[in-house]
Structure 1
C-alpha cells in the first residue's frame, strides 16, 4: 500500500515493522494530531518530528529514513525518444535553483562552538561564535540555493531555536536576529559572485525590472528643471527665515526628521546660492544652515548644484571602495587606530566587514597623508558649535557610526 493511503494506525504499524519502537504515549500523539500517511507524505517539519518523538534523536532519524524510503515518486510511462539536437541542448542546460527540503536538520558546528552549545552556553552574545553559527547555516543552505525565500530563512532560524532554545532572542518572535543575520550573510556572499549562474540570472532580472525607459540625458534635464523651479517659486526673506528656524530646531534634536530637513534645505537652496554669490562667508553659511556640516547634507547640496542620475554619495562610495584594499595596506601596524581596527574586525560578522573597512579607511586617511589627525578627528569629544561629534573612535563606533 502507498504511503499516502495509510491510516494513522496502519502508519504506526508500518513504523514498528521498520524498527521504530513507538511507545503508547508517542502513538497517542500520532492519533491526537491526525498524523497519517497523507500528512507524512506532504512533509513534516523538524519541529513536528521532534514533538512526535520527544527526547529520542534515534527515533527521529529512523522516522526520516522511513519517510525517504516510502515517499511516492511519480514516473511517466510515456516513451521518450530524444534526438541528438535536443539532447545537446539538455546537456548544456544551466543548473536551476533548488528549494530547501521540507525537513531541515541543523548541521554540526565547529568543535569549539558545538562544545559550548552542548554545554548550553549563550553563544549569541559572543560575536565570534555567532559568526561561526551563521557561516555554518549559510554553507548548509547555499548547497541548495544562493537566493533562499523568506520562508526558508524563517524555517532554518526556527529550526536553530527549536534545537537550541537558549539561543532564542530576548524580545520579539525569538528568531528575528538570526533571520536577519542569515539574510545579510547571503547578501554579502553573493556580492563578489559575478560568474555564478544563479546570481547572474537574478541580477539581470533585477536590473531589467529597475531599468528606466528614459535615457540619462532626459533624466538629467527633468531633475534639474524640477529642482530649480521648486526652489524659486514662492520664497522670500520671511519664508526663508521660517525655513532656517525649522532647520535649527531639527538640528538640535538627537534624531532629526530627515523629510523636513530635505524639504527645507530644498526650499532655501536658491536663496542660499544667492547669499554665497554675494560673498557670505563659509562660517556664516554653516551657522545659518547647520545641516551642511553633516555628510548627508553636504552630499545633497552638491547633488543640487550638479544634478546627475547617480548621486555623489553613491559615486564616492563606489570609488572609495575600489581604493580601499591598497589604502589599508599603507597603514602602519604601530598606529593605535590600526590596532583598534584589527581587534574590531576579528570580532565582527562577515557581513559587517565591508562597512568596517570603509569607515576604517576614512579614519586612516589623515595618517596616510601625514596630516594632523587632531584637525580632522576628535576622539570622543564634541565640538562647541555642534552637538554631533566629528568622530568617536571606539570599537562600537567602528561598527556603527555615530
Structure 2
C-alpha cells in the first residue's frame, strides 16, 4: 500500500483487509466484518512507519499543511520551510521524549491521583466497541508499577475489574513485549512454523495425539492449501505437551471447563475448527477470548509473565521450551536437559 500512498483512506484499508481474509480464511477475526482488528493493526502500522520519515514528499506536504511555524514574523516562503522542518524535527523529538517520559513516569513519576485518572481513562476506553489500543498501551505503561503491586494483594477478578485493558489480547501481548523488550509474537510464529510439521510427524510416530492428528487431516481437506500451514501450527500447539510427556490439561481443555487456578485455554467445540470458542481462563475467571491457537499460546505466556505466575509442574518443560526456543527469551534460568534435547531434535 505504501507504494501507492502513505495516507490510505478508510475504504482502501477495508479493501486490503477484506482481500486478506478472503484469501486466507484462517486470518478472519471474530468481528462482524471478519477483519476489523486487521484494519486497526494496519492503520497503526502506517502511523508508526510514517513517524520517522523525513524525505517523503507526500508526508512532508501533510505535515506542513497541519504544522505551525514558530516565528510568525518571517516571510511566507521561509515560514513554510520552517514549518516543514520544525514539524519533522518536533515529531522525532516528541517521540523520543514520550518514550522516555513513559518509562520514567511508569517507574516513579505517578501519584495516586494521576494513577486514578489513567485507570478511569482505561475503563472508559474499554467500554468502546473499538478501543484505542495506543491510548490503552500508554495507560498500561503509566500504571505498571502500581498494577504490579496491586496484583500481589488482589484476585484475578479484582485486577481485571480495575484494569480492564488486561482483557484485550492485543494489550496483553504489547505489555508482554514491552516487559521483555522483544517481538515475542513474531518470534513464536516464526519458530513454531519451523517445527510444526516435525512435532506432528513425531506425535504420529509415537502414536500420541491421535484425535488431534485425525482432526488436522480432516480440516486440511476443507481448507485451501495456503491455510494448511496455519492449521499445522495450531495442531502443533496442542501436540507439543505430548512430546514432553506432560498433561495437556495444564495448558488447554476441550469441552471441559478448567478447575485449575493457573492460566489455561478453554476450547469449546472442535479444536481446529474456526467456529470454536477459545477462551483464556485463570482462577475461574475469563480473561479474554482469542482468535486462534497460536495467539492463545502467546497470550498464555504473556499472562504468566505479567501476573508473575510460576509454570504448572505438569507443564513446566513445555512452557520452558516455548520460553527459551520459541520466544527466544534468554532468561538466566537453568534449562532442563529434556527441553534442550527436544529443541535440538525439532530444530535439527
TM-score (norm 1): 0.37
Larger proportion of strand: 2
Structure number with greater Rg is 1
Structure with the bigger RCO (C-alpha within 8 Å, sep 6+) is 2
TM-score (norm 2): 0.41
